[in-house]
Structure 1
Amino acid sequence: MRGWLRAHPYVADALLACGTFVVVLVGAAAQPHSVDGRPHFGERQLHADLVCLAALSCVVLVLRRRMPLPVLAFTTFVTVLGLVLDLDAGAPSDQRSSLSMATVVALYTVCARTDRSFSWRVGATTVFVVTGAAMLYGAQPWYAQENLGTLAWCALAAAVGDAVRSRRDFVEAIQERAERAERTREEEARRRVAEERMRIARELHDVVAHHIALVNVQAGVASHVLDRRPDQAKEALAHVREASRHALDELQATVGLLRQSGDPAAPTEPAPGLGVLDDLVEGFVRAGLTVELDLPEAGGPLPSAVDLTAYRVVQEALTNVQKHVGTGAHAWVRLARDRAALDVTVFDDGGGQAPSSAPTGSGLGLRGMRERAAALHGSCEAGPLEDGGFRVHVRLPLQAAPEEGSG
């Protein structure tokens, strides 16, 4: 029923107007001053002038939602008119005080639909006008219960209307904050998805670029010595097969992180780290590079993110040396660790024999290293050396090391 009435507001207001009309007539027909001190209903005669004024003030309540202020002004005028006019042979003045019920409904509507300052000004004016007319021209003496009742009902209507408006504004504010929080959560979720996509893209780039570079070098060697030295060509093809297998394994491990529930089981092997750095370097040595490792003394386990990032930095830097400098180059990998950070430095002498078809650098590898370092609040510096070669230096903070080591 409530939902239906909200969907048909004019029907609801018409029912309210009829109810108010009945209340006015019942109040006018009641005898409040009986011998036993209790009110008695139906002992007073309803005069035509009172009924007409009651009908006139209640019928406009149908328009209270569309024109709240004009409806309040009209009902107040009718109420004051009924109290002020001395109608010959009409209803007594104390009986006409029930006309104020229509004003009470209209005053509640205004206070519930306007701002606080305006509603209190209008409420105070209405209470002053209606109560003043009742005390001057209504029941006597001026402090009669009918006049005090008019004062109480008008003041209560203003207070209740203001309370309803305040509660409605409070609920709307809560809903707005909830919607804004929901939008914020959605934006945060989209941001995290974008960051995760970027991370996975970096992983795939590092894996594919490293192994495809090795495959490209070994395939070139095999093609060059296939006719003259078939044994060396066979060895190069074996290296191609091994590099391809490693690439597939790492791709499977990376893409396996994206599997949903119900998909085939993802690989359980951990992500690569500095613990398998020797295997990484060995692959480059077989491809023709000379790589020297300078590792720090064991200082406890590294945070998993730092370990993986350091491994990927070395992998990408040596891959760049292999692609852009070529076989015969001499590269150095130095790791230094203190209590605050891990320093990863990779540089070469620029003395390799780069293939004539060596690809032009796109900068994605360096950008990926910088993004990895920035994700851990670290720094990345890369640039050519004065005497030839290229140097990459990355510093990765170790804030998470004590917490992870203690577990």
Structure 2
Amino acid sequence: MVLRVGVARHVIPGLDPRVADVLDDVHGTGTTALTDLRRLVEVLRGPGGVQSDAALTAIEPGALPAALGAAVDTARRTGLTVEADIDEAVGGVDSVRGLAVLRLTQEALTNVAKHAGPTARACLRITVDDDAVTWEVADDGGSATPSALKGPGFSAPSVGPGAGSGTVGGHGLIGMRERVEVLGGKLTAGPSGTGWLVRTVLPKVAA
């Protein structure tokens, strides 16, 4: 469709400017849709080509806040104490990045329960600034010390040996990094206080 509209735009003689505008709009919309589909396929791709049922569910615009709330509730039912600070603006995030944010959240909270223990404390923070999405999950490593989660001022993570290797130290970061890199971001992860911090910024979608 995109190819044929592009050809038509250039071969039809004496094209009315109004028709040209319509063809340009169709061509631009189609091109954007193709780009989104390619990005979505990459985000949905699971390790080894295996996809879970949850990964195959795209997030409609506006549905992300409720989906994140459900992910937090699921984590809390395992025994985790989860503090969630989610910017209301996430409701306007496009479906591709929205799906990535949801999957990152699910994976990170699952990893906290697995590696820090079901009684650990975790903090999920998601903010949207100029359409860039900042996402992070921190945990206290299972420590009972109230100050283990330091809030916005906690130290930046340092990536240690084996981070991203799928080991306990790396918190199974390979798939998470792939999701982020496909969308032009970079995942940082490492020790923070007595626990672990995973963080990324998903950049603004190019017009």
TM-score w.r.t. the length of structure 1 is 0.32
Q: Which residue of 1 aligns with 2:24?
A: none
Q: Which residue of 2 aligns with 1:398?
A: 204
Q: Which residue of 1 aligns with 2:117?
A: 326
Aligned counterparts of 1:335 and 1:369: Cα–Cα separation in 2: 16
Alignment of 1:207-218 (within 5 A): 207=52
**Preserved CA contact (<8 Å) 1:326 1:352:** no
The structure having more radius of gyration, on CA atoms, is 1
Higher relative contact order (CA 8 A, sep 6+): 2
Aligned length: 146
Q: Which residue of 1 aligns with 2:162?
A: none
How much has 1:271 moved relative to structure 2?
3.9
Q: Report SS of the residue matched to 1:298.
A: helix
The answer to whether 1:298 aligns with 2:89 is: yes
> Which of 361, 365, 370 in structure 1 is aligned with 2:168?
361
Aligned counterparts of 2:88 and 2:178: Cα–Cα separation in 1: 28
Aligned residue type for 1:275:
A
Aligned residue type for 1:371:
E
**Preserved CA contact (<8 Å) 1:206 1:365:** no
RMSD of aligned alpha carbons:
3.4
Alignment of 1:202-351 (within 5 A): 202=47, 207=52, 250=53, 254=56, 270-271=58-59, 273-298=64-89, 301-351=92-142
Aligned residue type for 1:367:
I
How much has 1:360 moved relative to structure 2?
5.1
Aligned counterparts of 2:109 and 2:126: Cα–Cα separation in 1: 14
How much has 1:305 moved relative to structure 2?
1.1
Q: Which runs of 5+ in 1 are unaligned?
A: 1-192, 208-249, 255-268, 354-358
**Preserved CA contact (<8 Å) 1:206 1:315:** no
Q: Report SS of the residue matched to 2:187.
A: strand
Q: Report SS of the residue matched to 2:127.
A: strand
Alignment of 1:108-257 (within 5 A): 196=41, 199-202=44-47, 207=52, 250=53, 254=56
How much has 1:196 moved relative to structure 2?
5.0
Residues 1:196 and 1:348: Cα distance change in structure 2 (over 3 Å): same
> Which of 357, 370, 376 in structure 1 is aligned with 2:177?
370
Which one has the bigger strand percentage?
2
Deviations 1:2-61 (A, max 9, x none): xxxxxxxxxxxxxxxxxxxxxxxxxxxxxxxxxxxxxxxxxxxxxxxxxxxxxxxxxxxx
Alignment of 1:58-69 (within 5 A): none
**Preserved CA contact (<8 Å) 1:274 1:311:** no
